[in-house]
Amino acid sequence: MNHLSKCAVTAIFSIVALGANAQNLAHKIPADAKAVVTLKGNNLIELMSVKEFNNTFLGKKMVEKMPESVKGQTKTIADFGINLSSVFYYYNQSNDSVSYNCVLAPVNNSGQVDDLFRQSDKKFTTNAQLRTFFNHDSTEVVLWNDEMLLFVKSSGKEAYFARPEVSKRLGLPVADHGLTGDPATTTVRSAYPGIDYTTTADSAITTVAEPYAEEPVVVKKKKAVVRKRKPGAHHFPKHKTSKKYQKRKKVKNTVYLGERWSKEESYAAVDTADITQTEVDTVAIYGQDIEIDTATVKENKRIAAIKNKEVVNWTKKMISGFFVKDSRNSILSNKDFVKSIDEKAEVTAWIASTEKAMQDFMPTAIFKGINFLNGYGSANVKLYLEKDAIRIGSSITLSKEMAEAFTKINKRKVNKKFLNYVNEDKLTGYMAYALDSKAYLQEYPKLMNRMYGSIYKDEADMATDLFSLLLDEEAVSKVIKGDALFIFNGLKQNEVTYKTYEYNEDNFEKDTVTRTKKETSPDFLLMVSTEDTRLLNKLIAYGVKKKVVTDLQSYYEISTPKTPVPVYFAIHNGIIFVGTNVDEIKQIVSNQYQAKVSAKHKNAILKSNFSAYFSAKRFAGKIPANEFTNPQQLARTNKLLNSLGDIYMKSNQIKDNVFSGEISMDIPAKQQNALKYLFSIAEDVEK
* pLDDT for res 254: 37
Instruction: Give the per-residue pLDDT at 576.
Output: 96
pLDDT at 73: 58
- Count CB neighbours of 590 within 10 A: 11
The residues that bridge with 140 in the sheet, in sequence order, are 153
Check pLDDT > 60 for residue 380.
Answer: yes
Whether residues 232 and 259 fall in one domain: yes
Q: What is the mean pLDDT of the chain?
A: 77
Which residues span the domain enclosing 331?
2-156+321-352
- pLDDT single digits (tens) 86-144: 899 999 999 889 999 999 999 999 998 998 888 888 899 998 889 999 998 888 999 99
Work out the pLDDT band at 227, boundaries 50, 70, 90. Answer: very low
Same domain, 148 and 187: no
Do 138 and 238 belong to one domain? no
Average pLDDT for residues 354-365, to the nearest whole number?
Answer: 71
Higher pLDDT, 278 or 289: 289
Indicate the range of 78-87, 392-401, 532-541 predicted with least confidence.
78-87
CA-wise closest residue to 354 among 5, 35, 11, 63: 35
266 with 340, same domain: the answer is no
Calpha distance 46→174 (Å, rounded): 57
pLDDT of residue 261: 34
pLDDT value at 185 more than 50: no
Domain-located, residue 659: no
Regarding whether 280 and 214 lie in a shared domain, the answer is yes
Nearest alpha-carbon partner for 393 in 155, 138, 613, 651: 651
Rounded Cα–Cα distance for residues 519 and 196 (Å): 45
Q: Which of 106-110, 486-490, 509-513 has the lowest mean pLDDT?
A: 509-513
How many domains does the structure of the chain reveal? 2
90 versus 75: which is more confidently predicted?
90
Q: Which pLDDT score, from 0 to 100, does residue 207 have?
A: 32
Q: Measured in whole angstroms, how far is the alpha carbon of residue 546 from the centre of its chain? A: 43
Cα gap 45→316, rounded to integer Å: 35
| pLDDT in the model for residue 274 | 39
Q: Give the least confident one: 71-80, 98-107, 381-390.
A: 71-80
Sequence-separated (6 or more) residues with CB below 8 Å from residue 383: 345, 346, 347, 348, 390, 391, 392
The edge-to-edge listing of strands for the beta sheet with 218-220 is: 218-220, 282-285, 288-291
Who has greater pLDDT, 657 or 239? 657
Q: Are residues 119 and 197 in the same domain?
A: no
β-sheet with 204-208: strand ranges across: 186-189, 195-199, 204-208, 268-270
Q: Tell me if 9 is assigned to some domain.
A: yes
What does the pLDDT read at residue 53?
83
pLDDT digits (tens, 9 = 90+) for 462-473: 766 666 666 778
Tally of residues, the chain: 687
Question: What is the model's pLDDT at position 308?
Answer: 93
Average pLDDT over residues 263-286: 40
Stretch 481-495: mean pLDDT:
90
Range scoring the smallest mean pLDDT among 313-317, 449-453, 605-609, 660-664: 449-453
Q: Which helix (H) or strand (E) holds 7?
A: helix 2-14
In a domain, 391, yes or no: no
pLDDT of residue 577: 97
Same domain, 231 and 339: no
The confidence band for 310, taking pLDDT boundaries of 50, 70 and 90, is very high
Q: What is the 3-state secondary structure (H, E, C) of 432-457?
A: EEECCHHHHHHHHHHHHHHHHCCCCH
Q: 347 near 675, Cβ under 8 Å?
A: no
* Residues 144, 12 share a domain: yes
- 458 pLDDT band, cuts 50/70/90, is low
Under the banding of pLDDT at 50, 70 and 90, the label for residue 74 is low
CA-nearest of 176, 135, 134, 137 to 158 is 176
End-to-end alpha carbon distance in the chain: 31
Most confident of 266-280, 290-304, 590-604: 590-604
Yes or no: say if 400 and 657 are a contact pair by the CB < 8 Å rule.
yes
**452 falls in which pLDDT band (50, 70, 90)?**
low
Q: Is residue 381 part of a domain?
A: no
Looking at the domain assignment, is residue 15 inside a domain?
yes
Has residue 233 been placed in a domain?
Answer: yes
Q: What is the pLDDT of residue 239?
A: 44
Distance, in Å, from the CA atom of 285 to the CA atom of 283, rounded to the nearest integer, reads 6
Q: What is the pLDDT of residue 98?
A: 93
Same-domain check for residues 99 and 125: yes
What 8-state DSSP symbol labels residue 541?
Answer: H
Kindly state whether residue 526 falls inside one of the protein's structural domains: no
Q: Which residues of 441-450 are buried (b: 16+ CB within 10 A; e: fewer)?
A: bbbbbebebb
The more confident residue out of 245 and 579 is: 579
pLDDT level of residue 456 (50, 70, 90 thresholds): low
Shared-domain flag, residues 149 and 230: no
**Nearest in space to 686 (alpha carbons), one of 59, 57, 65:** 57
Residue 262 pLDDT class (50, 70, 90 cuts): very low
Same domain, 278 and 335: no
Q: Is the pLDDT of residue 312 over 50?
A: yes
Judge if 87 and 215 occupy the same domain.
no
Quick one: residue 100, left, alpha or beta (phi over 0 = left, psi -120 to 50 = alpha)? beta
DSSP, collapsed to helix, strand or coil, labels residue 384 as strand
pTM value? 0.73
Span 62-83, mean pLDDT? 67
507 inside domain: no
- Provide the b/e sequence for 277-312 (b: ≥16 CB within 10 Å): eeebbbbbbbbbbbebeeeebebbbebbbbbbebbb
pLDDT average, residue stretch 23-52: 88
396-405 per-position pLDDT tens digit: 999 999 999 9
Give the orientation angle of helix 674-686 with respect to helix 57-64, to 10 degrees: 60
Which pLDDT score, from 0 to 100, does residue 67 have? Answer: 60
